[in-house]
Structure formats: C-alpha cells, structure tokens
Amino acid sequence: MSARLRIAASVTAALTLLVTLSCARAIAQSNGSVKLQWKIVPIVNLTVTPNYQSGFGPQGGAGSGSTPAPGGGASLGGGVVDFGNQVVQGYAYLYKYAVKTTVQTNDAAGFTLYAEGTTDVNDLTAGGTQPLNQLLFWLFSSPGNSPFSSATPFQPTASTVGCGGTCINYVGTPPPTAAVWSYSSSTIGQPGNSVSQGFDYQLRLYSSPPPDSFSVYIVYTAVGN
Amino acid sequence: MKKLLFAFALVALGVAFFGTAQAFQVQLGVKQISVNFTVTPSPIAYAPTNATGVAVAANGATFASFENVADYLGKADPLASIVAYEPMNIGDMVAQSNQAGVKVQFTVKVDPTYQYFHLIPVNTNLNAGYGANTYTCSFQVFAKYATAWTITDYAYGSSSSGNTQGLGGFPLYNYATTSDLAWLAETITTSYKAYANAGSPGETVFAGAAGSSKTICIDLNLSVPASIPAGTYTATISYRMVHN
C-alpha cells in the first residue's frame, strides 16, 4: 500500500467516525425545541369600478336649457366618469354611481382610503388648468343626493406623479385631507372578504370655465391602518 | 250693494295693476352657488402625555420628568433633561398600499346668459368655528343689461355631511327659523342680513340702471350654534336677475 493510499484510507476512516459521532449527538438532542417568529404582512387590495351601477351619469343643471347625459367614454362597470358635453357654465351637476371602491385586507386595524387628483383640471382645448377643488367634489352614494348636497372637494396632489399621470408616489401616507373613507377592522369574514363604498361626484361649474373640454385623473390609495 | 260692488271693483283693479307691473319684469336667469363650511371644534391648547407619563412639549420635543409644559418651562436648564428616544424601528413597519384611479372628463357648454349675469366663486370652501365667522368676498355677482335690472336672492337649501341636519337644517333652515348665514353686498349694504329662506323671489340684493354693469362682492357671516356637531355643511343660495 502506497503512502498516498494509506493517507486516503486514514482520512476516510476519520470522516466516517465524525459522521457517526454527529448522528449520535443529533439523536441524543432530538427532544430540543425551536422558537419560530414571523410577521404577517397586511395585505390591502383595492379595486376601483367606474359607473358601477345602472342609472349612472350626470343630472342637474335645471334652468340651463340643457339636459346632461353620460358621455361616450362612460360604460356600465367601466370607462371613465364622463359628464358629457351638455354641462353648462354656471350650473351644478351630480354624477350618480361614479365610482365604487372595493377593499380586501387582512389588517386587523382596517384601512384608510385616500383620493387625490394627479393635477388640477386640464383644459384639453386651450391648455392650462382650472382649480380642481372648485370644480369636482365627492360624496358617498345615496338616493337622496343632489347637485347641491354637501360634498367635499378633491384636491390636487402635492406629491410626485408617476405611471404616465395615473399614479401618485407618496412619501409616507397620503395627507389626512385626502382621506375619503376609513374602515377599522379586517375585511376577512365579510361577504367576499371585502368591503365596498360607492361615491357620487359633483361638478360645480359656478366659476364658469371656458367652453372647452376638460379632464383630470383621480387616484385612490388604500393604506392599512 | 253698491258699496260691495265698488269694493270688488277696487280689488279687481288692484289685481290687474299689480299683475301688469309684474309682467313688466322679465326674468333673465337664475343661478345658484354652493358654499361649503367645515365646522371644527375650537383649538384647545394642551400638552399630550404618553402612556409612561413622559410629557410632550408643544413643539413636539419629548422630555422626561415633566408632567406638563409649565414644569418644563420652569426649569433653569430644561434641555438638560431631554431623554434620548429610540427611533422608530423601520423594520416593524409593514404597511402596504394599493392604488387605482379613474379618469373624469367633461365638455363645458356656453351659458347664453353669462354675458348678462353670472356668479364668480372666490372662496367657497370655508372653515368655521363655533360662534360668529366672517368671510370677506366669498363670491361675486356680476350683472349687466340694456334696461334697468334687479338681482334678488333666497336660500335654496342646506345639506350636511352624513345628513345629520336634514335638508331644512343648519345653516339656512326653513322659514320661519332665521337663517344662521347672513350676507352683505360690498359697497351696496352696510350690515349683515340673514338670508331670506321663505322661497322665491326672496329679497333684493342690488339693482342697476339701464346699461349699467356691476360686479359686487358678497361677504358672508356664519353663526355656528354650540348644538351643531362638527362636520361639513353646504349652503346653496339662488340668485335671480330680472330686467324691465
């Protein structure tokens, strides 16, 4: 047997002994315990459905000589909130069933829903903007709502806007002034394991903006409490 | 009998006269404006204390061994007692958010009466405390016509967030309850007057001679009773223009 073979045989024997001892040690401590710790990350899923119910669309403008109707961009359960082209300077309108928000969360403390405009209202005809907080207002959907019901103005965000103008990059949570709905417990166990809230919109044209086409993007953000 | 016939004739003549006088006035347009009032409790100065009794100064700094700001201010060297605080453990923050949006669009149609009569909001989203609140030039009323004209107003309605007050509630109420919202037309009137809330035609705000044009600021005065819960209230006022 060469010297190399003897060394290899010795190493093999030593490894075999080590493995055997290790197994014996492991078997001897098989009644030990392990403490496991983990965190459940709250899940918050938000769905926004425009024109969520039959009968959606604008109403109001009594005395203006025009009857408002949903524009071509609106469709049941989708599209945009389209007040159409029969809304008149100086008058107020209510858009029924504008948006339904649905939130699913396992956060035991619930969530807060925020909504802000990515900009002021954009004048697509002449350029420039009109103040969002003088034109567009929100209120919970209710059969008794009217163009003159109490409603809260949307504010343009002060945060940076991304996604081509369709999302807002918040540092921390959105501002308290943007809160539109708060729910204080997990939605697990609720019908569909989620909760929903419908919103109507008001368009107040009291400032008589020019006879142009306008648009604005409203972003909803759900944050676990 | 003759006296009775004479009395009837007088009444008929009166009706005919006033009816004719009414007919002389032509309504040019009616415009409404809504003003939002957010009523909040009066601010109360306080020094919030955390669960372990560590006082928090009004400026947000945290101090140990002071139960209130007055104790803190009484110390010769208050900063000597600043307690090192443990920064928030970012690793414990697991909040998630989710976003979705909706596009809103509309095309505005010209108001044919705009050149003669319109309202101009200046500041119609207002904060209010309990008691009296005054707002200078909340909105303006513009009027102009070739013949003599008159602007009247009346309370169109109230609403509240969550409908806590009902449609005939604070701040405009229904007649015969006096409105808690009063108006003053700058350069025209000199004292606040509660909005008329007995329906159309309401009360005269101002008038103009033939060919004249006026843009008048409307100041508002809102009195918030202690019985009114905090919340958002909307008052809608209707303005009407008639001309001869």
Tell me whether residue A101 is in a domain.
yes
Per residue in A19-66, pLDDT (tens digit) is: 444 544 555 566 778 888 766 678 899 999 999 999 999 999 988 889
Task: Please give the class, per CATH, of domain B26-42+113-243.
Answer: mainly beta
Tell me whether residue A147 is in a domain.
yes
Tell me whether residue A5 is in a domain.
no
Domain that holds residue A186: 44-224
B121 vs A212: CB contact, 8 Å cut-off?
Answer: no
Domain ranges of chain B: 26-42+113-243, 55-85
B106 vs A98: CB contact, 8 Å cut-off?
Answer: no
Angle at the Cα of A200 (from B109 to B138), degrees rounded to 5? 65
CA distance A9 to chain B (A): 52
Pick from A208, A213, A221: which is nearest to B99 by CB?
Answer: A221
A220 vs B114: CB contact, 8 Å cut-off?
Answer: no
Say if residue B173's pLDDT is above 70. yes
Q: Residue B193 burial by CB count (10 A; 0-12/13-18/19+): exposed, middle or buried?
A: middle
Per residue in B40-60, pLDDT (tens digit) is: 875 443 333 333 333 333 333
**Higher-confidence residue: B90 or A106?**
A106
Contact residues, chain B, for A73 at CB < 8 Å: 103, 105
Region of residue A51 (left: phi > 0; alpha: psi -120 to 50; beta: else): left
A41 vs B94: CB contact, 8 Å cut-off?
Answer: yes
Report d(CA A57, CA A48) in Å as an integer: 17
Tell me whether residue A188 is in a domain.
yes
Number of domain units in chain A:
1
A223 neighbors A112 (Cβ within 8 angstroms):
yes
Chain A residue with Cα closest to B117: A90
- State what percent of residues in chain B have pLDDT above 70: 65
Report d(CA A204, CA B34) in Å as an integer: 8
User: What does the pLDDT average to over A162-178?
Assistant: 93
**Which 3-state string (H, E, C) describes B212-244?**
CEEEEEEEEEEEECCCCCCEEEEEEEEEEEEEC
Tell me whether residue A36 is in a domain.
no
What ipTM was assigned to the predicted interfaces of this complex?
A: 0.84
A214 vs B108: CB contact, 8 Å cut-off?
Answer: yes
Tell me whether residue A38 is in a domain.
no
Q: What pLDDT sits at residue B2?
A: 57
Tell me whether residue A128 is in a domain.
yes
Q: What residues of B are in the A interface, CB distance below 8 Å? A: 29-34, 36, 94-112, 114, 118-121, 124-125, 139, 156-157, 159-161, 163, 232-234, 236
Tell me whether residue A138 is in a domain.
yes
B99 vs A173: CB contact, 8 Å cut-off?
Answer: no
B98 vs A45: CB contact, 8 Å cut-off?
Answer: yes
